[in-house]
Amino acid sequence: MIGSIAWKNVWRNRKRSLIVIVAVLLGTVAGVFTAGLMKGWIAQRLHSVIHTEMAHIRINHPDYLLNEELVFGIPEPENLTRFLREDPRIEGFSGRTRVTAMAATARANTGIILNGIHPEEEKTVRNVHTKLIGNEGTYFDTPMQNPIVISDKTAEILRIKNYEITPEVIDSFRKAGVPEETCEKLSILLNQRFSTEKAFVKVLRQNLAHHEIKNFGSTLLAQSEHFRLRSRVVFTFTDSQGKLVYQTYKVCGVYKTNNTMFDQMNAFVLKEDLAEGAGFGPTDMHEIAVIAKEDTDVDALRNDMRALFPALSILSWKDLSPEAAMMTEFMDLWYLVIMGFILFALAFGIINTMLMAILERIKELGMLMAIGMNRRRVFRMIMLETVFLTLTGAVAGMGVGAIIIALTGKTGLNFSSVSEGFEAMGWSAHIFPEIDAGFFVMVTLLVILTGILSSIVPARKALSLNPVEAIRSE
């Protein structure tokens, strides 16, 4: 009953209450959105760390980690692979060979790590196959000799990626909404090839107006990008005997993740092709990457595996990337801090409002106390009033915040002006906010707490009243 009185009291001075409710709403939306943004960002990074870079667990010969020498393959892998196939916690695993090589084309050369893989196995562990760009590339589905999948960055360095404006490309400009006059200007560049982004952009700048570049620049770049598939790249490396080996691979696909460092270093070839060139046996492998099923305790899995295979180096993604591990732990703390601060700022307004409400009702309160409502009830009434006031705003705020996150979560937010810096470190510049129920629970609890704490001052004011004097006051 006190509850319903408290609730009605909230609405007695509509205007005043609304002001506070709106303030709390805005604050909550801000808090929810900020948290959603951060959570989405970090979730993406983690996803990338696990599903593109490291997997949940990585197994190597312990000496391999020092300098990645080819001789240190995983010894006697049969027991290990049997375990990996049978353990119910494991989603998939992929055994790879790895060779550090020099890649060369007619025009350029660079250092690369060749990963010898089984495409079907690798797909269960790494999502590179979902990150192909360009129209004709495939992940080892095109029949050809010695296929290789390289990154956009590598293609650029090796001059396999070029920018070219052909009549078809101009058509695609038109389709993408580039205005006719811009297309006209670009037609003088027909059939010229530019092997670096820099050179192409320079020419674009020379021929187009500033606003044209601003509005259509990225479209022009994206549509003019051209990878010549089946380009040959000759790799030089030393095999397991220390002999110098040459092997040619042909590009069958180009991928791009948002970690430039990963992209720059890694190229993927079929295990049997690499084995032929480097002199590996059919079951040789340098590392095995393991992905566990969702909600598995990865640490426990790792420990079990260590117990079963003490001679091997078995590391979880947390071991391999402690910064990533720390981030998740910090996250929860951060949300608390953010929401806490926002609520603290709001508390002033809430206290003020409630105090005013109390002072207005001195006479009434005095009456209530005179007719026998005990102090505890009065306190509870005021407290409930405060909590309801705050909670209304918060609930509305969480609702709005959730909607905003749902919307932006689909389209994502683009911070491309600073993308290069982030992608160099492996962070995405295109963020998809997300939030989980646990967060809302925390916010609700915090809000209730704020309400209770804010009610203390006004409640004490109320309780300090002398009922007799209160009735007589004006």
Handedness of CA 141, 147, 153, 156 (dihedral sign): negative
Q: Which of 2, 43, 46, 104 binds other proteins (CB under 8 A)?
A: 104
Cα distances (angstroms) measured from residue 19 to each of 13, 63, 106, 231: 10, 66, 70, 66
Task: Give 66 or 371: the residue with its C-beta nearer to other proteins.
Answer: 66
Minimum distance from CB of 410 to other proteins (Å)?
Answer: 22
CA distance 428 to 257: 9
Is residue 459 close enough to count as binding other proteins by CB under 8 A?
no
Residue 285 is encoded by which pair of tokens?
A: 């492998």
Handedness of CA 423, 426, 429, 430 (dihedral sign): positive
Restricted to residues 416-445, the positions that interact with other proteins (CB under 8 A) are 418-422, 424-425
Is residue 27 close enough to count as binding other proteins by CB under 8 A?
yes
Instruction: Label residues 19-35 b or e (16+ Cβ within 10 Å = b).
Output: ebbebbbbbbbebbbbb
Task: Give 178 or 251: the residue with its C-beta nearer to other proteins.
Answer: 251
- Give the per-residue contact string, 205-234, with other proteins (x = CB under 8 A; - = no): -----------------------x--xx-x
Residue 239 is encoded by which pair of tokens?
A: 């095999």
Task: Give 22 or 406: the residue with its C-beta nearer to other proteins.
Answer: 22
Q: Which of 190, 214, 341, 445 binds other proteins (CB under 8 A)?
A: 341
Q: Which of 79, 187, 236, 473 binds other proteins (CB under 8 A)?
A: 236
Q: For 28, how many CA atoms within 13 A lie in the half-sphere containing its CB?
A: 31
Cα distances (angstroms) measured from residue 439 to each of 332, 397, 401, 408, 434: 9, 13, 12, 18, 11
Task: Give 4 or 417: the residue with its C-beta nearer to other proteins.
Answer: 417
Restricted to residues 184-203, the positions that interact with other proteins (CB under 8 A) are 193
Is residue 243 close enough to count as binding other proteins by CB under 8 A?
yes
Restricted to residues 274-313, the positions that interact with other proteins (CB under 8 A) are none
Is residue 101 close enough to count as binding other proteins by CB under 8 A?
yes
Minimum distance from CB of 348 to other proteins (Å)?
Answer: 4
Is residue 11 close enough to count as binding other proteins by CB under 8 A?
no
Which is it for strands 287-292 and 266-270: parallel, antiparallel or unpaired?
unpaired
CA distance 117 to 96: 5
Restricted to residues 125-144, the positions that interact with other proteins (CB under 8 A) are none
Q: Which of 32, 3, 78, 91 is nearest to 298 (CA)?
A: 91
CB atoms within 10 A of CB 206: 8
Task: Give 108 or 209: the residue with its C-beta nearer to other proteins.
Answer: 108
Is residue 65 close enough to count as binding other proteins by CB under 8 A?
no
Is residue 415 close enough to count as binding other proteins by CB under 8 A?
yes
Is residue 145 close enough to count as binding other proteins by CB under 8 A?
yes
Is residue 246 close enough to count as binding other proteins by CB under 8 A?
yes
Q: At what angle do helices 362-370 and 322-360 cross, to 10 degrees?
A: 80
Residue 386 is encoded by which pair of tokens?
A: 């405060």
Q: Which of 26, 19, 28, 41 is nearest to 340 (CA)?
A: 28
Is residue 256 close enough to count as binding other proteins by CB under 8 A?
no
User: In this structure, are residues 288 and 58 in contact, taking their beta carbons and an 8 Å threshold?
Assistant: yes
Is residue 356 close enough to count as binding other proteins by CB under 8 A?
yes
Which is it for strands 132-133 and 244-255: parallel, antiparallel or unpaired?
antiparallel
- In the block, tokens 């005021």 appear at 382
Residue 179 is encoded by which pair of tokens?
A: 């205005």
Minimum distance from CB of 344 to other proteins (Å)?
Answer: 8
Is residue 412 close enough to count as binding other proteins by CB under 8 A?
no
Restricted to residues 28-47, the positions that interact with other proteins (CB under 8 A) are 30, 34
Q: Which of 1, 4, 67, 191 binds other proteins (CB under 8 A)?
A: 67
Residues that bind other proteins (CB under 8 A): 15-16, 19-20, 22-23, 26-27, 30, 34, 66-67, 101-102, 104-107, 109, 111, 145, 159, 162, 193, 228, 231-232, 234, 236-238, 243-248, 322-323, 326, 338, 341-342, 344-346, 348-349, 351-353, 355-356, 415, 418-422, 424-425
